Amino acid sequence: MNKNNFAIIMAGGIGSRFWPISRTSHPKQFIDILGTGKTLIQQTYDRFLKVCPPENIFIATNEIYSDLVKAQLAGIQDQQILTEPVMRNTAPCIAYGCFKIQSINPDAVICVAPSDHLILDEPAFISTIERSMETAVSHNCLITLGIKPSRPDTGYGYIQYTDQTINGDFHKVKTFTEKPSLDIAKTFIQSGDFLWNAGIFIWSVNAITEAFGKYLPDINDIFVDARSVYNTETERSYIHTAYQQCTNISIDYGVMEKASNVYVLPSEFGWSDLGTWASIYQLAEKDYVGNAVIPSERVIMYDSSNCMVNVPEGKLVVLQGLHDYIVVESNNTLLICPRDQEQNVKQVVADVKQKFGTKYI
């Protein structure tokens, strides 16, 4: 295994679309949401153990989740947990991780990935990451992975690419587009040169730190100035103070959309971002009338079809005459809503917080 291979796993989100199972105190990346026996972050960590030495895997997360990370990832050390005192989107946490890794190994090549995505074809994923790491080093470029779209989904960002390639099939990126309208998404699919943005990035540590200096100089300066404290006892307190000064900006908008050396690899490895209950329903095992029940031991359904049901173990639930609904219970909260209205869950969470405070959030 290449000692220069590193990974940064981003695990700071609160997963509000999976409320009430995903809560601020225990978000979806720390939950076995598919009933596999492992949480999403455990699956992601185990996947990267096949690419990087264990000491080269870093977890970027909110400071309130530090104990959860240590509890779920056996052997992870404190210096491998990059804690954020406040949420500042992806660019600051990636900058922190990359500058820290550069201080450890200036020849590092890094994969940055979310902690809460599903990968069904793990060998294909590992092969894709290893090829991308080799290409990132040999061509001094910033690489992102694009997923061949199967439908005009409005929940994903899109990447448009050109015919210009390096190393065979790494295409130069033309444009990034955030979540489009349905009509625009249909146009993207028909054009044939758009991919879903998987939010997975690969680059050499020198290429990305150079990009920060060029495109996000304010963030760059913060983490350059911290070089003397990386991997020391004062790192955490220093970073927590400095982090307050960071701009709230994504790596896509801050760097990837501006840099001229960005390439995308069209990829297929059974990817899902598990962003909504609909994505869980799509992947879950269903009965003959389309009901997906996790766990299923004490759920009885009469004249009900195409429902997504997730309730605590030992809870007896009886549903009758319910079609195309989401039924979720957790943490003294019950949510029942039509499957085609699940995008409203974020608004529901905001309304609950306004009416009842953070008790149920």
CATH code of the domain covering residue 120: 3.90.550.10
**Whose structure tokens read 């922190």?**
96
Give the per-residue pLDDT at 17: 83
Shared domain check, 65 and 171: yes
Residue 331 lies in a domain: yes
Which of 244, 272, 300 is the last residue in one of the domains?
272
Q: Comparing C-alpha atoms, which of 198, 150, 200, 193 is closest to residue 172?
A: 193
Q: Is 14 left (phi over 0), alpha (psi -120 to 50) or beta?
A: alpha
Shared domain check, 184 and 293: no
Residue 361 lies in a domain: no
Residue 173 lies in a domain: yes
Number of domains comprising the chain = 2
Residue 21 lies in a domain: yes
Q: Comparing C-alpha atoms, which of 6, 15, 4 is closest to residue 277?
A: 15
Element (H, E) at 347: helix 345-356
Shared domain check, 340 and 246: no
Q: Are 271 and 122 in contact (CB under 8 A)?
A: no
Shared domain check, 102 and 226: yes
Q: Is the dihedral of CA 41, 46, 51, 53 positive or negative?
A: positive
Give the per-residue pLDDT at 117: 92
Residue 218 lies in a domain: yes
Measured between alpha carbons, how far is residue 233 from residues 78, 100, 222 in Å?
A: 11, 14, 18
Give the per-residue pLDDT at 255: 96
Residue 207 lies in a domain: yes
Shared domain check, 254 and 283: no
Shared domain check, 264 and 325: no
Those residues of the chain that have pLDDT short of 70 are 296
DSSP code of residue 349: H
Shared domain check, 193 and 106: yes
**CA pair distance 58, 77, nearest whole angstrom:** 9
Shared domain check, 339 and 232: no
337 token code pair: 């809503």
Whole-model pTM? 0.93
Shared domain check, 281 and 226: no
Give the per-residue pLDDT at 277: 84
**CA pair distance 315, 309, nearest whole angstrom:** 12
Give the per-residue pLDDT at 345: 86
Which of 272, 302, 325 is the last residue in one of the domains?
272
Shared domain check, 307 and 212: no
250 token code pair: 């994504």
Shared domain check, 286 and 236: no
Q: Phi and psi for 122 in degrees, rounded to 5? A: -65, -40
Residue 36 lies in a domain: yes
Give the per-residue pLDDT at 343: 78
Which of 251, 272, 293 is the last residue in one of the domains?
272
Q: Are 348 and 354 in contact (CB under 8 A)?
A: no
Shared domain check, 153 and 88: yes
- List Cβ neighbours of 175 (8 Å cut-off, separation of 6 or more): 159, 160
Q: Phi and psi for 98 in degrees, rounded to 5? A: -70, -40
**CA pair distance 58, 62, nearest whole angstrom:** 13
Domain hosting residue 310, numbered range = 277-356
Residue 297 lies in a domain: yes
